[in-house]
Each structure stands twice: as C-alpha cells, then as structure tokens.
Amino acid sequence: MSEQKGPDAANPTLDRRLRTGLLAAVALTALFASVLGVAGRFRQPIVVDIGPSTGRYGSGFEDSEETPPTTSRWTRHRAALDIPLHAGGGPVRFSIRAARYLDEPTLVSVAVNGKSFTSFEQPRGRQRIQEIEAPLPEGPLNLELTSEDPKLGMALDWIRIEGARWRIPLGEWMVWVLPVGIFGALLLTGASLPLAGGATTLILVGLAGFAAMDPFGFVHSMRDVAAPTIGFSILAALIFRGQTAAVLAIAATLLVKGVFLFHPSYFYNDVRQNDRYVGALR
C-alpha cells in the first residue's frame, strides 16, 4: 500500500525556502551596506543644489527663486541645512555659490552639527563661487549658516564639500529596504533563490556606483524612487508570473528614470517659465 502525501508533506520544503529567502534578504542588505561603505571611501564631492526640490532639508530659507540659468534660495539671518549623510572628520574643501543683491556685503558663519566650521564674507553683487579649506567635524552634516545681516544673508545656489568620507545613516530606511523589496519581487515571479539574488546584486552594485559619484543625489532620489519602484515591481511580479526578466527590466527602468526625474538638480519649469517661452516664440 503506497503512502499518500498530504499538504503537510510540502510544509518542510516551504518553510526551508522561506528561511533561506529571509537569510538571503539579510545577506543582500549587508552586501548593500558594504558596497555603499566602499562608495563612501571614494570621497566624491557632496553637492547640494539649493532649489525647488531641496526645500525639505532646510529651514530659515526664503522660497525658491529663478535667477536664470539657475535657481536659488535666500537665507535669512539664520538658516539650517540638514544633509542626509554622516561625514568623517578631516580636512575638506568647502565651496559655495551665492549672490547678494543688496548694497552691503555680510559676514557668514558656518557651523556643522553645532561646531564652528568656517566663516567668509559674502560680497554684494552677482553669483560667485567661494572656496575654503577647513577641517570638517565628524558626524551628521547639519549645517547652520548665520549672517551678520539681521534680515537676509545670501541667495544660495549650491554647496559643495570635497574630500569627505561619508556614509548613509540608518534612518534613511528607503535606501535600506531596496534589497529586500527587489529580491522579494523577483522571488514572486517564481525565480530561484540564486537567480533572484544574483539579479538583485547587480542592481545594488549599480546603485552603489551612482552613490559613489553623487552621494547626496543618490539619497535624495531614493527617498522618492524606492517605494514606487518596489510597489510597481511587486505588482508586475504578480501579473507576469514566471517572467523574471520582464520584472527585472521594469524595476531597473523605474530606478533609472526615477533617478533622473527626482535628482535634486532637475528643474521642473513652472507656468511662469512656460509663459516666457511662449512669449519668446511669438
């Protein structure tokens, strides 16, 4: 008499696959943290474009203004900019592009994470770049800009920090859910663990390469791109069962397009800008 196999017979296999998948997801997250750590060692410039899309990081700024071909924000007497990165201490080159369309110059003091960093005079007149070499305190990149002018400081275009080793804080959870989300979506298509893990690794290495070149741009973009990418990838996996390549292509396309659309330097021209174009064509 042959032994019948019931639903319980498949449970050990399912449980084993689930445990293996969870371990693989943890390993992929650890791998992502490692390659991002390597990316931070390249010490590529941290560039923060001050404009329409970066208002979430600052306080003490006026609304974004168009000063073609750039956008900028005026700082008030005190302004703060919380860059979502942690930096290692050491000598750096601090560059700033700003203007002051007022009659008198003003002295601007810069502190990082509550510690004095540097100061400079912002001259009156057009946009210009100033470069200062100074030791950067270790810790979160929370910048405080204080002007001697009690009302307005400067029309700030961008800030650039060169030579700093950086890392992404754990609080940037949209970065850290990417390995689990992409890996899970590929598994939902029916892909094997090695195939899903290998494909996810390729995407993670590509993202780390982007982070190495543009640290702030990477974190800023992932805040807006990661969740939709994971959500649409899971939806695609449920629709296109068995088509791992198609879901992988969808995830990669969403990431690439999202990075361009949500990059902090990308300028969404508004109605006023479009009106200027129409007027110029008449």
Cα 201 → chain centroid: 19
Distances (CA, A) of 15 to 20, 230, 273: 9, 24, 58
Q: 242-248 long-range CB contacts below 8 Å, 24 or more apart?
A: 242/189, 242/190, 243/189, 244/186, 244/189, 244/190, 244/191, 244/195, 244/196, 244/199, 247/185, 247/186, 247/188, 247/189, 248/186, 248/199, 248/203
Q: Is pTM, for the whole model, over 0.85?
A: yes
The two tokens of residue 152 are 């307005």
> Rounded to an integer, what distance in angstroms lies between the CA atom of residue 61 and that of residue 211?
27
Kindly indicate the confidence band of residue 70, based on its pLDDT and cuts at 50, 70 and 90: confident
Q: What is the pLDDT of residue 219?
A: 98
What's the rounded mean pLDDT across residues 120-143?
A: 96
In tens, the pLDDT along 85-116 reads 999 999 999 999 999 999 999 999 999 999 99
In tens, the pLDDT along 144-182 reads 999 999 999 999 999 999 999 999 999 999 999 999 999
The two tokens of residue 53 are 């899309």
Kindly indicate the confidence band of residue 271, based on its pLDDT and cuts at 50, 70 and 90: very low
